[in-house]
Structure 1
Amino acid sequence: MLKAENTKITILGSGVALGVYIPALLVNYQLKKQKLDTEVVILESYYNDESKEKLKTYKKAYHNNFSIALMGHRMTKDIQPSLDEVLVDNLLQTWTKENRLNFIVWSGLWMPILERYRNKIAPDKLNIDICRIDADISATFKIHKDNSQHDHEVWLWNWEQKKLVNEIPVTTQPPIPYTQRNNRFVIHGGGWGIGTYQSKIPELEARGFLLDIVVYEIKETTQIKPENRYFMVDPEWSPWDKNQSNEHEFPPFGEVTISDNKCFKNKENYHEFYDLVKESQAIISKPGGGTLIDSLASATPIILLEPYGYAEQRNSDIWEYLGYGISYEKWKSMDYSSEILEELHQNILNRQKTTINYPQSYAEKVCSNFVGNKIL
């Protein structure tokens, strides 16, 4: 593999949603394995202190009340007033000094900053991949649609085309056969613990299902039931802070028990939560993009809960259309059928291998450009 020692690939993510944070880190790790020079930059690192504190308030409110979360989604707006201009100016100076040209973007909220950089160094120089984590253009990109019209769109799944386009592998291991999996279900509400998942837990427990519940706050485990397991992301971890190696890292994650509620750990190459998903009968969750990545990579079907906004609705639509998921209501009407879940698992396994391995194809594209420019 060619080494691009003078060309750094900048991967722009956000910590507001793990569904755009974790894919950025997956792509980063896999490009580094291809000997490419990469850096992940998280938008909230450039927020002013007041805005960071407001984010914590929003997260708690959205977790506590899904209606408030949906209202906030409809009011998605430009975050430029939230930025620390000194930090942003320093960032742009660094990019200019290092002649950064290659960007992979996971949040549309980066687009005004990229536009400033584009105008600063020359309009036609930048190579920008706009990554679509949803089956429709997500809200953060819609409000900055004009800024991204000349860049390269990378769809993972596209509702209009009714198909998968690109994939992001999580590991190199094949999916676990369905008959060898734990007789358990993962249930969660995404990185902010939002949605209707909590309301489904009592009726699932009443049916005797064994649940792996991803909680958002430690207080949610005060009435631990022995048949369930409880997991969470380390509440002291922040996606916009770096670790001791000065790198952004996958969320520290672990099981919460009565005897030990600080058992968090993480891996270098993928998120710990995936190890739960790959052994489960199904994921019970709203259809966030990160959940779809996990579903596809592990061949684990999704029992689809109410979506967070119009773009997640399209995620739900395409997963049902392709036969990879089923709405909770339909599954319930089928008396919580295990047979339909195994059928959905097989559908994912049997899908046509016509999608593009995005990190691999990106590495090949970049290295091809280096050959063309005689940078060996």
Structure 2
Amino acid sequence: MRSMFDAAVAAAQPALCLPPHLPPRPKGRTIVIGAGKASAAMARALEDHWDGPLEGLVVTRYGYAVPCERIEIVEAAHPVPDQAGLQATERIRQLVSGLSADDLVIALISGGGSSLLVAPGPGLTLADKQAVNSALLECGASISEMNCVRRHLSSVKGGRLAAACHPARVWTLLISDVPGDSPMDIASGPTVPDTTTSADALAIIERYRIEVPPAVLALLQRSEAESIKPGDPRLAGSTTRIITAPQIALEAAAEVARAAGYATYILGDSLEGEARDLGKAFAGIARQVATRGQPFQTPCVLLSGGETTVTIKGKGRGGRNVEFLLALGVALDGLPNVHAIAGDTDGVDGIEEIAGACLTPDTLARAWALDIHPRKSLDNNDGHGFFQALGDSVVTGPTLTNVNDFRAIVIDSASTTGKP
């Protein structure tokens, strides 16, 4: 299982996937900007393969910096923005001001950029953005819903950063971490047009009954909140390329599984919804495969990706991947010969420096032996506490990339008994 996870992460490394997508050299200057958990590694890969002058700045998560010679790397906070991100974003805006049509801006964008690239919209403060971010993370909204709100509260997201580069050409290289690989949802789309509106953002806030500062509601009711729309002439010189995505990572993992003798099925690269609900649903699929040989024969591996959500009700230490895995384990209830792994490819599940965890048929029995109640842990959103106590956490350290969640369920042939 760990070999599959490692293969998925390796397939998304910028050093491998970025060089084939580099643009031709411009007549003028080349400015590099970027944000995201993979942006520093992307900057390093760009430096290693660019044969002309370069300058620029990218902002990445604390602990994710990679040494570069010509591109400055700044670290800031994720998932809630901080002053360092605010200052780095302002410097990026200054870098791209006053450019000419002969200049080229290369934007290196990956998951995490929504928090790292922070420039509050008119009338807002950093504290306002922090409050909204925290509320969005806890309410159970999908990533597309969260990023819709973020785009309309920003001075750089929703295509505004690309508009600030005009008349220079903008060449955006994206590492997708969002279901469906929509460019406007990757880091909230700072260099691409946005099809959503401020009215959509207001509806999301109302739908989830999110408490937001009064200045946020005031901005969303003004025209200043509107993002850059398709067809805007300031984005006419923009090119956008997705250089790697969840599907590519899942295919790399599938090769590992097939080499080990397992039939492999990718059930989706963009699955969403409550993590615990998805875990319960996947338990039903795994049980049908294990006990009935339907719809797949064993031995097999079921792979999936995407980005689930967690509506926080407890006070435990959790993340969406361990929440999924714990719900899966509770529903399987020790079903023999079914193992699973779930982890975030960036190495951080929730806010913990833990990528995820592994599940085995005896996980629940080992927990009970330690007087740990699996259902109580799930109700308390304490996936990390649960798996860490068992020694089953997956810890990678910074992976320097991010193609979102990775899930694999391994079902051995010995578990096909014909009994429910």
Q: Specify if TM > 0.5.
A: no
Higher relative contact order (CA 8 A, sep 6+): 1
TM-score band, normalised by the shorter chain? 0.3 to 0.5
Q: TM-score, normalised by structure 2?
A: 0.36
Q: TM-score, normalised by structure 1?
A: 0.39
